[in-house]
Structures are given as structure tokens and as C-alpha cells.
Amino acid sequence: MAAALSRPDNNAVAHDTAVGPPRHHQWIAFPQWQRSHHIMPSMNCLLASQSRLYTVEDIASAEHIALPGKYALICRDAFSGIELWRVPFPDGHSTLIYDKNMPVQLQRRCAAIGDIVYCTPGYSPR
């Protein structure tokens, strides 16, 4: 029986007739481009709670990677993508941290319980 389920080209894709690939986007929000693929990503933290998406984003210009970063905590409606509010962070850390040297605590800087969000405005490289 197992031999009948395997495919000769070793492809495990199902022959499903009810579900297919996505055909549209629900919504697209700015920024559409990251500042660089070699340094810290423009969005380094994302969490969802109570039909809201919370992100920590670098909202500075993407013209050049050496420009200083401007970070903000941004809340969007998860269904429509409409920005509900943003809290800018004080400038305090460099964005010129290469991708492989990025502190792991950056992805863990936000927590949400119900409609209350906790977020640190920066990080300590120590």
C-alpha cells in the first residue's frame, strides 16, 4: 500500500482539488522594501493578539543602509491592515548589525495579553 502512495518523482505534493495556492493578498502595508538584506531587518518583531498585529518596524528611509534607523511599535487591524496607532521609540541603537550577529532578544521584545501590549523600546547588547 505504501508503494502506491509514493510518487516516482519523489514529490510529496498532494493532488488536492479543493485547496490551491493563494490567489490574492488580503492587504499590503508599508514599508514594502527592507533597508537591506545584510543588516537588521526592517521588521524584527511581530505578534498577534485580539485580531491585532503588533510589529516593531524601522520606519526610516530605505535610501541607504548607513542612515540612522527610526523604530516604532505599530498596531494594525489583522483583517484590513489599517494602521490603528504607532508609538515611536527614542533613537538608541545601531541598525548596522549584520544579520548573523543580530541579538536574539530582538524577536522577544514584545508580549501581548488581551488588548494590552508590553514592549521594550530598545535592547541591551550585553
- Note if the pTM is more than 0.85: no
For the segment 97-108, the average pLDDT, to the nearest whole number, is 67
Grid cell 540612522 in the structure block, residue: 68
For the segment 21-42, the average pLDDT, to the nearest whole number, is 78
Instruction: Choose the most confident range, by mean pLDDT, from 11-15, 33-37, 42-46, 113-117.
Output: 113-117
> Which of 51, 70, 50 minimizes the C-alpha distance to 60?
70
Measured in degrees and rounded to the nearest 5, phi and psi for residue 5 equal: -85, -20
Task: State residue 35's pLDDT score.
Answer: 75
H or E element in which residue 4 lies: helix 2-5
